[in-house]
Structure 1
Amino acid sequence: MFKRTLIATAVIAAACASTTTSANTSTSAFFDDSTVSGGVYNMTRIRDRQPNGSEHFAENIHHSTTMVGLNFSSGLVGGVFGIDLGAHGTWDMWNSGSSQWSEFSLVDDKNKIKDGFTINRANVKLDFDVFKARAGYIQPSGPGVLGVNWSFMPGTYRGAEGVYSANGLTIAYMWADEYKNPWNYDMEKMTRNDAVTDKDDNVITKATEIDYVQSLGASYAFGNGYSVLGAWGEGEDFVDLYKFKLAKDGEGFNVSYHFYGMNDRDDKEDSLNNIYDGLTYQHVLMSKFNKDNWTFRAEATYTIAKGKQGNFVVRPTGYNGGFGKSNGAYEVWWDSRSDFNHNEEKAVFLGATYDFDHGWSAGASFAYGWDGKSNDTKVTTEKLKEIAYNLDVGYTFQSGQLKGASVKAHYTIYDLETDVNSWSTAFPNAFRDERDLKISFAMPFSF
């Protein structure tokens, strides 16, 4: 459960702040400058996958989940102190019994769907103009290597962050010791896997706690559309993370180069934590162009991920620390099912969207990955090849009670061209063919 100490700290700090000025002024600043925002959301999803050994599709995720989110951000008492609070709740409207749980429904500690509410933000904040700090249950806000998992709501770290920003330069440091993704109720210690022996000398895998993760990053905007970002971080005594970004923002276009890197700290050949052989990394090129009602995207990645894990993931706990147990500041989002991130894999993404005005938009995109190297030649020596085709249709309400609300449909046809089973040791992050339909509704509000 959320530990009460940090909540108490938030309350005490806000109370102490009130002593810096008169009671009336404090109350006025705290409430009069506050904002309340949130939204009502729904995700309905029909995802089918080919089971191993079959050419037919079977139900994988079938559900419709409604979510409500609410955020409170106070004004600054004495121009310095404030608090932020946020929570969300889910109601599973229907979920087929043979489906796996989605990443939108709240689940209990047995990964069983359990409707209810959870806190996703509770922190004190300090604002000294060029320097801002937050402590409690937070999401990263400055340049760095830490990120969160998302549904409609973000995941949450327990920690603190300080951000300095002036004259185009931004420097941020963040430290955290617990995390929860948006589909879990409770904060948890972050972990890695270790091999230990039981009382009968059998080797077993045990989750070992990581005491902290941390990130230090800086970015600089040159004032002519160019910007640069560099960051380092770590999962304590486990992995180091690196990020570099060079971007150019112009009138009607954005172009950027990204480098993401990871390196584990364990060189023992038989260790579970020796997940990579040397530095693993990914090069990324991203571009977006706007012309009249059209938006075009062209992106490409190249991955090197030698070692046991066989694919690249930007997290301070990696896959080794468990699914959804942390996340990194990764900007690539193709919404094409696969991560296209196996060792030596090259991948491209091309997309176009047209805005019809009056709220309607439609688009199509294509993702293709090839040349991924098998991580287990006993399974296959064939190179990985995977393709995804996407169609998008969206509408934003222009008037009436639903003005500003939007409905979007996204359909993906994903084909794994390489003849291997899902999650094989040859390609640990690849799965068989899928057909995936997502229909989402979002109605944000603020007052």
Structure 2
Amino acid sequence: MKMKHVGSKTLVCTSVLTALFAASTFAETLDPNDIRNQSAAAVDLTTEAKQAFYDSSSSKLHSFLYFRDREERKEGESFKPNIENQTLQLAWDYKSGYFKDTVGLDIWANINQKIGDTTGMSEILYFDHECANDPSSQTYDPATGQTTRVACEKSYAALSVFALKAKFGDEATGLALRGGYTPINFGTIRSSWGLNPHSYRGIEAKAHFGNWVVGYAFADEFKNDWRKDFLPMTTVWHQQQNPLSTNQGHVIDFIHTVGAVYNFDGGSFDVGYGVGKEYRTNWQALAKYGFDLGGAKVDLTGFYHGSIAEETELTGVKDAKAQSYIGLGANIKHGNFTWIAGVSATDTQGEELNYNFRLTPWANSDNRSFQQTLSGLDDYNTDGTRAVKLGVNYNFASFGVPGLSAGMGGNYGTHVRSDAKNAVYDGSMYSVDWNVGYKFLDGGLEGLNIQTFRSLFRGDDIVHKNDRNDLKVLISYSVTLK
């Protein structure tokens, strides 16, 4: 009886699909408003859905091989492994068109596969704080009879983006909406990347008219590349995922922001204001301007970010002071050379060791990435720091190898915070970065991209970081499925 019932369902489904397929031949000649032709109208909707979610969609498969070897030297010791990681990433990146020219869907699904043993926290594999099922992460002390567990990294699969999108209006005046599990890039909320996009559970709404874009964004959960799930944002970096910690912190109910962008010939001006409920308020202004100078292309940026902690139970802060970061940058492209320069100044007024661009603590949400003095191993935004950056990249097209590029850069910071508790600024630090990469521009390996980054960081009388050396090899390849 059960098999007969299943067979009947199958027959009905097959009949319906056959009827729909046959009806598509006549759908264009029938009036969908005629009640007798409603099945054909349904076929029209099916055709429009196919147009939006298949014909007008893009579908790509991304692959990434990631190798990293970072070593660290504590004061009075030799260099020791700090991060050792080998990871294979596979990701499906789907972006639909718009059904009825209004509604669409974006998806990013990924697998981050651990290869061999790893050391430390790479920020691209699932970070298991307990690691209860991994004997290698447990140490037994016969003297005390106790077993100590340490965190470990694991492979994982996740749905990092699943977002509905909608648009209304036209190119001159319109509204764009996103909602669900989605990156947010407006106001003072931004989404960065690991091997995959960091995303929020939230919404983003942007209206455009003339040269203006204004908008609002809201989020109450966040997922980075070392978490499998979207989690509430909290006042502790581990998002309450470390039951062994004595500090579980508090949940930050939500973050939200408003912003406006004005575009003009050659540049833009971008301002934003954001609030992390009962935790932090911030504001920012970013200016960009580009122009031609002789045979060179010059791009200038100026960035100001301000913030202040809320005086609440969540922060425990009394007499909060406004903090700030300001940076200026210039990129000059002439021939095959791109010259890079930047300066910055950071001031937390002694309240925090490093400037916080987020509306939450680190790892609970993302930050603005417009800092002009970033290096491979340090952001140069420690309290008090006055930093300068110089660099150059070169493309070997003149030698008949346009896929080959190399670069080198250096950073120096002075007036760096040198006491973890007190506002003392006697430290200094410097970084040196090298990179070389090759991208296949044609042939059977077209699109294969291989990059190597080498970095070192040294500090003198600083407390926020130890000396480090770092090597990263990144191999990426994407296939367009649709």
TM range (shorter): 0.7 to 0.9
Residue matched to 1:214: 256
Residue matched to 1:239: 280
Checking the alignment, whether the CA contact within 8 Å between 1:283 and 1:302 is kept in structure 2 is: yes
Describe the shift of the 1:330–1:74 C-alpha distance in structure 2 as closer, same or farther (beyond 3 A): same
For 2:101 and 2:425, the matched residues in 1 are separated by: 62
Alpha-carbon shift at residue 94 of structure 1 (Å): 2.5
Alpha-carbon shift at residue 332 of structure 1 (Å): 2.1
For 2:315 and 2:217, the matched residues in 1 are separated by: 27
1:66-93 Cα shifts (integer Å, max 9, x gaps): 1111111112111111111111111111
Describe the shift of the 1:19–1:314 C-alpha distance in structure 2 as closer, same or farther (beyond 3 A): farther
Describe the shift of the 1:215–1:24 C-alpha distance in structure 2 as closer, same or farther (beyond 3 A): same
- In the TM superposition, what are the counterparts of 1:58-77 in structure 2 within 5 Å? 58-77=80-99
The counterpart of 1:168, out of the listed 203, 211, 221, is: 211
The counterpart of 2:234, out of the listed 170, 187, 191, is: 191
Work out which of the two has the higher radius of gyration on C-alpha atoms and give 1 or 2.
Answer: 2
Describe the shift of the 1:124–1:267 C-alpha distance in structure 2 as closer, same or farther (beyond 3 A): closer
Describe the shift of the 1:272–1:172 C-alpha distance in structure 2 as closer, same or farther (beyond 3 A): closer
The answer to whether structure 1 residue 362 and structure 2 residue 406 are counterparts is: yes
Residue matched to 2:33: none
Checking the alignment, whether the CA contact within 8 Å between 1:158 and 1:176 is kept in structure 2 is: yes
The answer to whether structure 1 residue 89 and structure 2 residue 111 are counterparts is: yes
Q: Which runs of 5+ in 2 are unaligned?
A: 1-40, 131-150, 237-245
The answer to whether structure 1 residue 442 and structure 2 residue 481 are counterparts is: no
Checking the alignment, whether the CA contact within 8 Å between 1:178 and 1:188 is kept in structure 2 is: yes
Residue matched to 2:354: 311
Describe the shift of the 1:231–1:377 C-alpha distance in structure 2 as closer, same or farther (beyond 3 A): closer
Checking the alignment, whether the CA contact within 8 Å between 1:345 and 1:372 is kept in structure 2 is: yes
Alpha-carbon shift at residue 19 of structure 1 (Å): 7.4
For 2:167 and 2:43, the matched residues in 1 are separated by: 14
Describe the shift of the 1:305–1:362 C-alpha distance in structure 2 as closer, same or farther (beyond 3 A): same
For 1:157 and 1:19, the matched residues in 2 are separated by: 35
- In the TM superposition, what are the counterparts of 1:318-397 in structure 2 within 5 Å? 318=361, 323-332=362-371, 334-357=374-397, 358=401, 359-376=403-420, 383-397=426-440
Checking the alignment, whether the CA contact within 8 Å between 1:239 and 1:264 is kept in structure 2 is: yes
- TM-score, normalised relative to structure 2: 0.78
Alpha-carbon shift at residue 444 of structure 1 (Å): 2.2
Checking the alignment, whether the CA contact within 8 Å between 2:419 and 2:425 is kept in structure 1 is: no
Checking the alignment, whether the CA contact within 8 Å between 1:275 and 1:309 is kept in structure 2 is: no
Checking the alignment, whether the CA contact within 8 Å between 1:156 and 1:182 is kept in structure 2 is: no
Alpha-carbon shift at residue 149 of structure 1 (Å): 3.9
For 2:197 and 2:318, the matched residues in 1 are separated by: 27
Residue matched to 1:293: 336
Alpha-carbon shift at residue 326 of structure 1 (Å): 0.9
The answer to whether structure 1 residue 50 and structure 2 residue 70 are counterparts is: no
Residue matched to 1:8: none
Determine helix, strand or coil for the equivalent of 1:107.
strand
Residue matched to 1:266: 311
Describe the shift of the 1:239–1:276 C-alpha distance in structure 2 as closer, same or farther (beyond 3 A): farther
Alpha-carbon shift at residue 335 of structure 1 (Å): 3.3
Alpha-carbon shift at residue 244 of structure 1 (Å): 0.3
Alpha-carbon shift at residue 312 of structure 1 (Å): 0.3
The counterpart of 2:181, out of the listed 127, 133, 137, is: 137
The counterpart of 1:116, out of the listed 136, 156, 166, is: 156
Alpha-carbon shift at residue 240 of structure 1 (Å): 0.4
Q: Which runs of 5+ in 1 are unaligned?
A: 1-17, 194-203, 421-426
Letter aligned with residue 351 of structure 1: G
For 1:275 and 1:41, the matched residues in 2 are separated by: 46
Determine helix, strand or coil for the equivalent of 1:147.
coil
- In the TM superposition, what are the counterparts of 1:246-257 in structure 2 within 5 Å? 246-251=287-292, 252-257=297-302
The answer to whether structure 1 residue 101 and structure 2 residue 143 are counterparts is: no
Alpha-carbon shift at residue 219 of structure 1 (Å): 0.5
Checking the alignment, whether the CA contact within 8 Å between 1:277 and 1:307 is kept in structure 2 is: no
For 1:309 and 1:276, the matched residues in 2 are separated by: 13
Residue matched to 1:15: none
Describe the shift of the 1:101–1:368 C-alpha distance in structure 2 as closer, same or farther (beyond 3 A): same
Describe the shift of the 1:374–1:267 C-alpha distance in structure 2 as closer, same or farther (beyond 3 A): farther
Determine helix, strand or coil for the equivalent of 1:394.
strand
Describe the shift of the 1:60–1:275 C-alpha distance in structure 2 as closer, same or farther (beyond 3 A): farther
For 1:147 and 1:382, the matched residues in 2 are separated by: 30
* Structure ranking higher in helix proportion: 2
The answer to whether structure 1 residue 431 and structure 2 residue 431 are counterparts is: no
Describe the shift of the 1:95–1:149 C-alpha distance in structure 2 as closer, same or farther (beyond 3 A): farther
Percent identity between the two aligned chains = 22
Describe the shift of the 1:311–1:84 C-alpha distance in structure 2 as closer, same or farther (beyond 3 A): same
For 1:114 and 1:377, the matched residues in 2 are separated by: 35
Describe the shift of the 1:21–1:124 C-alpha distance in structure 2 as closer, same or farther (beyond 3 A): farther
For 1:381 and 1:303, the matched residues in 2 are separated by: 14
Describe the shift of the 1:175–1:219 C-alpha distance in structure 2 as closer, same or farther (beyond 3 A): same
Residue matched to 2:45: 22
Task: Compute the RMSD of aligned alpha carbons.
Answer: 2.3
Describe the shift of the 1:273–1:289 C-alpha distance in structure 2 as closer, same or farther (beyond 3 A): farther
Letter aligned with residue 41 of structure 1: F
Checking the alignment, whether the CA contact within 8 Å between 1:192 and 1:273 is kept in structure 2 is: no
Alpha-carbon shift at residue 339 of structure 1 (Å): 1.8
294-303 vs 249-258, greater mean Cα deviation: 249-258
For 1:91 and 1:403, the matched residues in 2 are separated by: 24
- Equivalent pairs counted in the alignment come to 399
Checking the alignment, whether the CA contact within 8 Å between 2:175 and 2:207 is kept in structure 1 is: yes
Alpha-carbon shift at residue 52 of structure 1 (Å): 4.0
Determine helix, strand or coil for the equivalent of 1:402.
coil
